[in-house]
Amino acid sequence: MAYERVVGPLGGERFDVLHAIQMALVHNQWAKKPKKPRDFMPEWDRPKAQSPEEMLAMLRAITGMKGGQEEHVDYR
């Protein structure tokens, strides 16, 4: 764990993609219903995509919590 904190995670970048491709190859040799590599990709903790209106509402809420005042700025 200490080593990974200094130099980063062990293994190459995007080994998850490599393993997903390998899993799809192995699975599709024996399965009746083939799958694609994306079916084996892990789902990382990514936030759900927000609309521009949702992002603006979040910024307004944070500004209000920090005691700031909203200025009229046209973000479009």
- pLDDT tens across 30-49, in order? 999 999 999 998 776 666 78
Segments making up each domain of the chain, as ranges: 2-65
The mean pLDDT value for 16-22 works out to 89
To the nearest whole number, what is the mean pLDDT of the chain?
82
| Residue 22 scores a pLDDT above 90 | yes
Which distant-in-sequence residues (6+ apart) come within 8 Å of 40 by Cβ? Answer: 19, 20, 23, 24, 27
| Residue 11 scores a pLDDT above 90 | no
Q: What pTM value is reported for the model?
A: 0.46
